Structure 1
Amino acid sequence: MIELCKWEAGEATIAKAKRQILEAQRERLNLPADTPLNQVPPPKVLDMFSGGGAIPLEALRLGCETYAVELNPVAHIIELCTLVYPQKYGKQLADEVEKWGNWVIEKVREEIGDLYPAIKVGEVLQEEPQQLELLQHPKVKQLSLAQTLTPVAYLWTRTVKCPNPACGAEVPLVRQTWLCKKAKKYVALKVIPNYETKRVEFEVVEAATEKGLGFDPAAGSSRGNSTCRHCGTTIPTKPYIQEQGKAGKIGHQLMAIVCTTLGEQGKTYLSGTAYEKYIPDEIVIKNRLQTLVEEIGVSTPDEPVKVWSGVFNAPLYGLDKFEKLFTFRQLLSMMTFVKWVKLAHYEILQQGNEEELAKAISTYLSVMCDRLADYNSSITHWHNTGEKMSNTFSRQALPMVWDFAEINPLGNASGNAKGALDWILQFIRRESQEYSKPGILQRSSATSISVESESLDAVITDPPYFDSVPYADLSDFFYVWLKRSIGHLYPEHFSSQLTPKKNEAIMEPSRHGGDKKKAAQFYEEMMHKAFCEANRVLKPNGMMVVVYAHKTTSGWSTLIDSLRRARFTITEAWPLDTEMSSRLRGQNSAALASSIFLVSRKRTDTKIGDYAMDVRPELSKIVQSRVKTLMAEGVSGADLVIACIGAGLRAYTQYDRVELPNGDELDANSFLNEVQKEVLEEILTEVLKCDKKGISAVDKPTQYYILGRYEYGESIVEFDEANTLARGVGVELDGAAGLTDGKLYLVKKTKNQVQLRDYTERGADADLGIQKTEKQQEFNVKPQAIGIAPTLIDILHRLLWLQENKPQEINNFITLAQPDATQLRLVAQALGGRALTPEAGATQFVNGHRTKEQQQIDTLLASWKRVVEENLFTQAK
């Protein structure tokens, strides 16, 4: 399994796995041991939420008979290109896609190549000898006058008119003007107001150091709020810029052109002000676009873009149709690709290719267009450290972007059409070598699967995550282009305006009149029906594996209840690293660093479990074992907590119903709270290196701080996630007595996010950690809360601060605080211990080093006897 799970697993490893799978299948089917493996029917595997086909693809690679069910038409098209066409047509397909892909690119180049003109060094200097900037450029001055620069990207800023009546200048909304940030190469744009033209000008400045630039490139707009460079007027996002956008009055101005040179490495940056003449006239582009639309009889994508709070905010600024997410030049280039993809299909048929092969080739050409659209919109930006384009969906959103990069789709930099084609060809050639049968695809809801009952060996699926990702709305961006390029080849998938959403399994209140409760009920019911279908199609001894990575209790309780009501028992749960850090989910705060694989079996009986007598004892046994096992494997943070909770579900889901001593049913949400308490308590015993009695002696806020540092390090986390942990410990974050309240608050809350405060933020307050005693009057110290003992974390934070800043006051502080030395040392050791290894993405360790708090704890523990114990001993005497 270890060899198989490596990214670079070779053919020999896969062949061995195929053989072992068939040997196991032969045994499962009770076939004679001497039955040749080529006569053993392979396992039948279904993914009922198959998306782009990652799970089914691996099943195909392992020789399984693979079924994939998916509702979304965009995902279904990707699955055809992933699971069917390469396996069906083999190497011939790759050769044909390469041939016709290059044909399309060249036809597009012939038609619109003039929109992206090369910049000839000699011509510029001949026509405008005063433009010495080009000649003086470190890169360009080495070139001969006959050489040319090829634009690969055009960097733009959106603009609005200054609302000051006495000014009226065009205000750039650019956030920052960095072009390149590399060692010994710092390039940025200097913004210079031109009081005659009422526009700013952009000057390219390059230096060997950041300081050498002589200005701050980051001094641009903040969240869209900008300052007029001519009169100093502040221009707010709300309501002014939003109103300007809805009125169609947000413009754009060229800031820079990024170029490459044949035979040379690196990028050359040219001022947009100096080389604006190399941008075709927008009126001409509009006219050409209109002519093209009439010629091919296909409109630009005028479908609406939905406003999705915190995810899709571009429509709030007037970008309320998909066509508005593109500049006119981008639209013209995309529509030209659409034209030639459609014509390519006709030409392929004219050359005598059979219809299905022609359809397959054209489908890949349309995917090339979709990949291009991801880089060829005005929601992209320039990656100044990598000196490359970032795509539209660098995260799961369509946000408003104030300064964007426009790619040259025919250029030679990342994100261009040729690069998109190369990625596609690489995949086809890889998969066409597998000699596996194509997957069996079905585009439908997971609640209604056209598969015979009790016929499948396994259902392995990665379902939608409650409310975390608006898959259908995200895919609309690609749907509108697929519909235009190959919609006529797949009328059954592209007949609607946008992707279907009515039956999408997601908790989305806007689809239920804003009612969150109804939305949650809908999601749960959809998942329940889907899991009932899984139960129906599985063989009696079949296995169901659900891949889940959601952190919220609401998401988990819904999933668990859906599985249990569909008569599944969760038998195992394991965390596995499955995602690239750059993948969308890796940037999603609702997702775990690992995916939790919940393994379940069909439940045939209708037993009722007694929580006190049956469920609780088994839960404790499972959790105790699993915490030790996973911590020994290096699993930590939220992954450890969720994985242990998942394993504890076996104690609950093996019963048709679980009853409390009073006869009431224990619901999934209540059980999750019980499991979480059990898991957190067990983790604390491991982290604190003590028994449960020792844990009970540590106050709850301190327990929470230890677990919070363990799970999140120094990261900022969502309030709901942090509050779930707090409830499991038995403390409140909000409210009058919450950890976010008061002068000495332990947790900092900003809107819907929280972060633990360390000793550097809390320790300077003289009231922190003071115990109310008779000595208080003598030292004239005001207690932080009369009648409430200070927490151990308060005492430790004050002690760490004094150690660093005022060591001479430690004796007096210990006299007043009167801590239990054993408990305090336990807490210090836990927070300084290596058990607190962070999950991926946390900042418990910065650049491989221990945090400042941990370093101070190391110092304190090294002198513990002298600083704490001897002081307490002296006071006792």
Structure 2
Amino acid sequence: MTADTTAVPRRKLIEVALPLEKINAESAREKSIRHGHPSTLHLWWSRKPLATARAVLFAQLVDDPSSFPDRFPTEEAVAKERRRLHEIIEQLVVWENAGDESLLRRAYEEISASTDGNPPPVLDPFAGGGSIPLEAQRLGLEAQASDLNPVAVLINKALIEIPPKFAGQPPVFPGAADAQITTWPGVTGLAEDVRRYGQWMRDEAEKRIGNLYPKAKLADGSEATVIAWIWARTVVCPNPACGINMPLVSKWWLCKKKGREAYVKPSVSGKKVIFTVSQDLDSAPTKENDGTVGRSGAVCIGCGAAVSLDYIRSEGQGGRMGMQLMATAAEGNRRRVYLSPSPDQETPASVGRPEDVPSGTLSVHPQYMGAPRYGLTEVADLFTNRQLWSMVTFSNLVDEVRNRIRVDGLSAGNSEGDSLERGGSGAAAYADAVATYLGETVGRLADMANSLCAWEPIAECPRHLFSRQAIPMIWDLSEGNPLGSSSGSWLALLEGTRRAFGSVAFPRLSQPAFVEQKAAQDVDFTKFVLSTDPPYYDYVPYSDLADFFYPWLRSSLQDIYPSLFSTLLTPKREELVANTLRHGSKTGAQEFFEEGFFDVFSSARKGIDSSIPATLYYAFKQTEITKGEESSSGWSTLLEGLIGAGWSITATWPVRSEASNRMRSQRSNALGSSIVLALRPRPDTASIADRRGFINALAEELPRSLKELQQGAIAPVDLPQAAIGPGMAVFSRYAQVLNDDGSRMTVRAALARINEILDEVLAEQEGDFDPDTRFAIAWFRQHGFDAGKFADADNMARARNASLEHLERSGILTSRAGKVALLSPSTLGERYADKEYDPATDPHISTWEVVMHLSRALTEKGVPAAAALLSQVPEAIDRDLCKELAFLLFTIAEDAKRTQVAIEFNSLGTAWNDIVAESRNASTQLMLGT
């Protein structure tokens, strides 16, 4: 089948307009939801929010009213109908509405009407964490998911393939069905069996390994369940005169909650290190002495010797790294109790390694894999011996419980039937299904029950390993109690699984879905609609990270899925990522990635339903842009593959798919958005353009698009990323763009032109500002908030029709001793510490001044304070110009590598729409006197 590229297809909603602000708000909100989210069934990296996937699929399939001039003959009629469709999207993306059957039925009816009553199946060939196929199924569509990685395939089976098979079935655990008089709707029966058989596994595990997890003896003689044991890794001090087993500790704090502070206090007696728990705040750790090890090395607490990381690595690689118990955290009366080490808690952990530990060698990629550099090269090395006993016990119990479920199913009157992998639906297949979820819970336990979990002194619980997309080295580790009931225990994880089944976000629909393990290069795209979130170049090493889970899942579930778990580790050779270690060099990795994308999307172009655009998510920040021909390898390689395969970009949308509180964004300007590209096969009749024609078209169309992006819900940090979309939409409409010498213009060169125009647009915006602001921008570009010479400032001010005396009176800068410095938001905070700044009474107010005070208010007190301040700003100050200034200042600060300042202005630009909306409410309340 060849895609018909001659007929003019109806435009879909995603190619024209989206209620982006609502989609982004709900997508970011969803990222903070943990309890009851389907993603808690098992971890995967860089999952897209369900709200985003749901909105994109709906808009991808539903016609835009502008395609029907006979039905909607005026702009007003088109706008009204489009607003109606947007209202459906705005309801669909709300987390609490994810299970609203009437709303989902309404959405399906719109999709059906736009697809002539025959909605096509949706295909995601890079299914990963399963957000896209899950949302296709929720919208009533047939979903087809595939992925090369068996861990991802298993996740998708658990999300979309297994539930419809057993929807409405009562539980088979003895007596469970009698606990509920009514029917068991959706997957509630399946969820109940997962909970009950999971509880049986926990009870059996306690019989077998309970002696390894003793209770703690409290000061009053009572006993308490241990939550975690906090250990320090140790190496022998290289100073011969010392030679102690020196602790490697990143922090001494156990609890930082006010009134409950507790920390570990080390001391040395002879050659022995002694740890005691203390609550004496007079001798509490400070920022300067909290821990013994950092990025540059460690310090011995015995002799004060500086110890290099190279020495620590060599000790680890030689098997000479040990562990010493620092403290025990136990359950107290509505609070944690911290106890100093004792033999009754340390001795049970001194157990040998079990024999049947699954094998698996970890990657040594330096960008993501920190632990192997310290001798932890095997998956099993990432666990203490006691943790290995726990993991092996629960893993073995999965096979035992599976047989028990099968027998109970037969007793409940179900027929034996075939296995799940063979398509069965009787007692054998049901046992396989329940065991699948329990096996995945073993995978989740691995994430919490390993020796790379740090103790969190604020939440007072162990932190799971994969807080980011890497396996880093951890020095002081918290060993959770899998037999307890707190964070990291088997029962806590099992409860997370139950909540996921019972949440509003788990589909109640019985639409079947199909999942297969296959490289995207081998997928048949015929007659599908394509929506996918492909790998991000070298950003996430999926298979390297999945190797952490794979041996445990294989050990638990190989008998159920023999073909899925036929290899010792996850497949690597065909994985479409740019891994320099795997392909020998950056060039080799880039060529592999580009060729792979070309193959995948060439096949897709030939096979997909061309009446509907494809959608593709991508989030790879441009970090290699120069003024020449350089650009981000991730983006240029992706786009080169897409455009070379015959695709044209018809629309792009920046969707804010990452929570602002994620670990990486707390410390950097990390990209928070994905760009969703709407793609169609480029017509075979597409024209060829010369370089000048392309640049003229770009110069005409891109500034307008950039203005729309700035006024939308995009953050300043994402603007360069989002600019790629409309720029490449111009480039990709041509069959080729030819340089002056007749050679083909590369995507890399086109991206450089796009970024040049972005710089020009931002520079041109300076002319819209008042003289004071224009001076401040120019001075900020040269000096930031540092001081410069008075003479230079005076010349710069005069050239912009401003005066330094006036600028100082307006509160923009200080001028002392021949030096001039702009006042930063934090400095303004100090100046107005004892009084409120009132913009309504400021006779010299400027856009710059407003933005500085808003940044201060947002940083110190959040959106409500910034909104209240903006509500008092005179209407003469253009709100749109304030937002443009925040974008411009972010760009200047980032280019100058003033990271902290850039983060502050990025935060202002990101929150701008919320600030404006709330300021209107504040203004209304002021007028009403409330």
Short-chain TM bin:
0.7 to 0.9
Q: 1:735-787 CA deviation, whole Å, 9 max, x = no partner?
A: xxxxxxxxxxx6xxxxxxxxxx7323xx2678977989xxxxxxxxxxxxxxx
Q: Report the secondary structure of 2:520's partner residue.
A: coil
Report the counterpart of residue 483 of structure 2 in structure 1. 410
Task: Give the aligned partner of residue 325 of structure 1.
Answer: 382
Q: Which residue in the other structure is 2:322 paired with? A: 251
The 1:585/1:532 distance shift into structure 2, 3 A limit, reads: farther
1:25-64 → structure 2 map (5 Å cutoff): 25-29=112-116, 40-64=117-141
Q: Which residue of 1 aligns with 2:294?
A: 222
Q: Among residues 728, 732, 744, which one is paired with 1:665 in the alignment?
A: 744
SS in 2 for 1:573: strand
C-alpha offsets along residues 194-241 of structure 1, whole Å, 9 cap, x if unaligned?
A: 12xx1221121215x677679976142223722222222222111x11
1:117 and 2:243 aligned: no
Moved more, 674-683 or 54-63: 674-683
Aligned to 1:153: 228
Q: Return the letter of the residue paired with 2:495.
A: D
1:271 aligned residue (314, 320, 340)? 340
Aligned-partner Cα distance in 2 for 1:487–1:624: 56
In structure 2, what residue type is equivalent to 1:53?
G
Q: Is the partner of 2:604 in helix, strand or coil?
A: helix
Q: Which residue of 1 aligns with 2:471?
A: 398
* Aligned mate of 2:607, from 522, 527, 537: 537
Deviation at 1:829, TM superposition (A): 8.9
Q: Tell me the SS of whatever aligns to 1:415.
A: coil
* Residue of structure 2 in register with 1:818 after alignment: none
**Alpha-carbon displacement from aligned partner over 1:144-166 (angstroms, at most 9, x marks no partner):** 54x32111100000001111222
Alpha-carbon distance change, 587 to 569 in structure 1, aligned in 2, over 3 angstroms: farther
Are the structure 2 counterparts of residues 184 and 705 from structure 1 closer, same or farther at C-alpha, using a change threshold of 3 Å? same
Aligned length: 709
Runs (5+) with no aligned partner, structure 1:
30-39, 122-133, 135-143, 294-298, 707-745, 747-756, 773-788, 814-824, 852-877
Q: What residue in structure 2 maps to residue 601 of structure 1? A: 680
Does the 8 A contact of 1:446 with 1:533 survive in 2?
A: no
What is the distance in 2 between the residues matched to 1:46 and 1:845? 38
Among 331, 338, 342, the residue aligned to 1:260:
331
Shift, 1:278, TM fit:
1.9
CA-CA distance at 1:495 after TM superposition: 1.6
Which residue number in structure 2 is paired with residue 462 of structure 1?
Answer: 533
Which residue does the alignment assign to 1:177? Answer: 252
- 1:576 aligned partner: 655
Aligned position for 1:445: 519
1:20 CA displacement: 3.8
Note if contact 2:137-2:509 (Cα within 8 Å) is conserved in structure 1. Answer: no
Counterparts of 1:690 and 1:827 in 2: how far apart (Å)?
A: 9
* Preserved CA contact (<8 Å) 2:691 2:737: no
Structure 2 distance, partners of 1:188, 1:363, is: 41
Residue in structure 1 matched with residue 556 of structure 2 by the alignment = 485
Distance 1:640 1:845, change over 3 A: closer
State the one-letter code of the partner of 2:370: N
Matched, 1:511 2:582: yes
SS of 1:631 mapped into structure 2? helix
Match of 1:750 in 2: none
- 1:50/1:68 contact within 8 Å kept: yes
Q: 1:433 to 1:657 in 2, by over 3 A?
A: closer
Q: Which residue of 2 aligns with 1:436?
A: 510
Correspondence 1:669-684 to 2 at 5 A: 669-684=748-763
| Residue aligned with 1:185, SS | coil
* Aligned mates of 1:9, 1:61 — CA distance in 2: 12
For the residues of structure 2 that align with 1:567 and 1:808, how far apart are their CA atoms? 64
Residues 535-564 of structure 1 show CA distances to partners (whole Å, capped at 9, x for unaligned) of 133112121111111112221111111111
2:818 alignment partner in structure 1: 809
Does structure 1 retain, via aligned residues, the 8 Å contact 2:107–2:139? Answer: no
Instruction: Tell me the residue number matched to 1:9.
Output: 97
The structure-2 alpha-carbon separation of the partners of 1:705 and 1:325, relative to structure 1 and needing over 3 Å to count, comes to: farther
- 1:554 to 2:633 alignment: yes
Say if 1:381 and 1:389, in contact at 8 Å, map to a contact too.
yes
The within-5 A match list for 1:713-862 is: 758-760=784-786, 763=787, 807-809=816-818, 833-837=882-886, 844=902
Greater relative contact order (Cα < 8 A, sep 6+): 2
What secondary structure does 1:440 align onto? strand
Match of 2:698 among 613, 619, 635: 619
Q: Relative to 1, partners in 2 of residues 1:842 and 1:98: Cα closer, same or farther, differing over 3 Å?
A: farther
| Cα shift at 1:508 | 1.0
Q: How does 1:856-871 map to 2 (within 5 A)?
A: none
CA gap of 1:850–1:461, structure 2 versus 1, over 3 A, is closer
Kept after mapping to 2: 8 A contact 1:48/1:446: yes
Q: Aligned letter for 1:280?
A: T
Matched, 1:520 2:590: yes
How far 1:605 sits from its partner (Å)? 1.6
Q: Does 1:66 align with 2:143?
A: yes
Give the letter aligned to residue 587 of structure 2.
Answer: K
| CA–CA distance in structure 1, aligned partners of residues 676 and 252 of structure 2 | 44
RMSD (Å) for aligned C-alpha atoms: 3.6
* Unpaired stretches in structure 2, ≥5 consecutive residues: 1-88, 167-186, 411-426, 623-631, 823-845, 854-881, 910-930
Cα distance in 1 between the residues matched to 2:666 and 2:572: 24
TM superposition shift of 1:343 = 1.1
Question: Contact 2:715–2:906 (CA<8 Å) still a contact in 1?
Answer: no
What is residue 434 of structure 2 aligned with on the other side?
361
Which residue is 2:303 aligned to?
231
Structure 1-normalised TM-score?
Answer: 0.74
The answer to whether the Cα contact below 8 Å between 1:206 and 1:213 also exists between their aligned partners in 2 is no
The DSSP-based 3-state class of the residue aligned with 1:649 is helix
Asked if the contact 1:540/1:602 (under 8 Å) is kept, the reply is yes
Identity of aligned residues (%): 32
How far does the alpha carbon of each residue in 1:387-438 deviate from its partner, in whole angstroms, 9 at most, with x for none?
A: 1110011111111111111000111211211111111122223466612313
Cα distance in 2 for residues equivalent to 1:72 and 1:613: 45
SS in 2 for 1:360: helix
Distance in 2 between residues matched to 1:543 and 1:71, nearest whole Å: 24
Q: Which secondary structure does the structure 2 equivalent of 1:87 belong to?
A: helix
Residue 731 of structure 1 is matched in structure 2 by none
- Cα pair distance change 1:229/1:462, threshold 3 Å: same
Quote the offset at 1:110 in angstroms: 1.2
Alpha-carbon distance in 2 for matches of 1:559, 1:576: 19
Task: Work out the CA distance in 1 between the residues paired with 2:613 and 2:327.
Answer: 57
The question of 1:645 aligning with 2:724 is answered yes
Query: For the Cα contact (< 8 Å) 1:541–1:602, is it kept in 2?
Result: no
Change (3 A) 1:433 1:642: closer
Partner of 1:163: 238
In the alignment, which residue of structure 2 is the partner of 1:103?
A: 200
The alpha-carbon deviation at position 4 of structure 1 amounts to 1.6
Rounded Cα–Cα distance in structure 2 between residues aligned with 1:812 and 1:20: 57
Q: Is this contact kept in 1: 2:232–2:476, CA < 8 A?
A: yes
Cα distance in structure 2, aligned partners of 1:538 and 1:704: 54
- Residue deviations 1:651-695 (CA, integer Å, cap 9, x gap): 11112211234433211111111112112322333355269xx9x
Provide the C-alpha distance between the structure 2 equivalents of 1:535 and 1:658, rounded to a whole number of angstroms: 21
Q: Give the deviation of 1:107 after TM superposition.
A: 0.4
Read off the aligned partner of 1:444 and give its amino acid letter.
Answer: K
